[in-house]
Amino acid sequence: MNDRPKLTIKKPLSLEKQSQLSQGLQYLAPNMPKKLSAKEQEHLMKQAQKKKREGIKTALGWLYEKFPACFNIKEIKPLKLHIEKDIYPYLDQEGAPSRIKVRLALKYYTQNINYIKALITDTHRYDLSGHQVEEITQEQKAYAQDKLDKILQIIKTKNRYKNKSSSQEKADNS
């Protein structure tokens, strides 16, 4: 059994206890930066996003290479529900991405506009070997259509905002 005491705070700590706790935490992690500037925080966020995108690209490349009948850029097919469970046994092989990266890659793949359009137009979902597995229901098609409409509306709004700002800049420069 675990003999370590649990830290429970039943009433607010006094200022003296707060400073002792803070000093103890600094002793445990002396190399942690105190506070980052806004620029440094933004830079770290961009680096993390870039690393995440690279991981997704790597995992997608692995999926395209390992399962070409199912994952094909030129011919996007609706995937079987919970297909990640079929993919996980292959992750033990050398050069395979982690489970998290595969899940992120699947999320990226299934949120693609072309994938959503394939859900709306196709009649069946496909497994890893490219065989039809289950039929796409009308509810799933309606959900995909709503999702597509929302995405297109967001794109239209962004383009409208972009066009307004660029035309205003041109007017200011004239």
Query: pLDDT (tens digit, 9 = 90+) per residue, 155-165?
Result: 888 888 777 76
Dist CA 106 CA 114 (whole Å)? 14
If one counts the domains in the chain, the total is 1
Mean pLDDT of 102-118: 93
Higher local confidence (pLDDT), 168 or 59 = 59
**Phi-psi bin for 95: left (phi > 0), alpha (psi -120 to 50), beta?**
left
Range of the domain at 63: 50-167
**Of the listed ranges 8-22, 127-141, 154-168, the one predicted with least confidence:** 8-22
**Of the listed ranges 14-23, 116-125, 127-136, the one predicted with least confidence:** 14-23
Dist CA 97 CA 59 (whole Å)? 6
Element counts in the chain: helices (H) and strands (E): 6, 2
Which of the four pLDDT bands, split at 50, 70 and 90, describes residue 173? low
The pair of three-digit structure tokens given for residue 26, joined into one six-digit string: 């600094």
Q: Which sign does the torsion angle of CA 84, 87, 93, 95 carry?
A: negative
- What is the average pLDDT value for the chain, to the nearest integer? 84
Q: How do the residues of the chain divide into helix, strand and coil, expressed in percent and rounded to 5?
A: 65, 5, 35
Sequence-distant (6+) residues with CB within 8 A of 146 are none
Query: pLDDT (tens digit, 9 = 90+) per residue, 69-84?
Result: 999 888 999 999 999 9
Residue 27 three-state SS:
helix
- CATH number, domain of 138, equals 1.10.1710.10
With a cut of 60, say whether residue 120 has pLDDT above it.
yes
Query: pLDDT (tens digit, 9 = 90+) per residue, 91-104?
Result: 998 889 999 999 99
With a cut of 70, say whether residue 8 has pLDDT above it.
no
Rounded to two decimals, what is the model's pTM?
0.68
Let me know if residue 71 belongs to a domain.
yes
What local confidence, expressed as pLDDT, does residue 169 receive? 60
Contacts 24+ apart (CB under 8 A), 148-154: 148/113, 148/116, 148/117, 148/120, 151/113, 151/116
What local confidence, expressed as pLDDT, does residue 4 receive? 66
Mean pLDDT of 141-168: 85
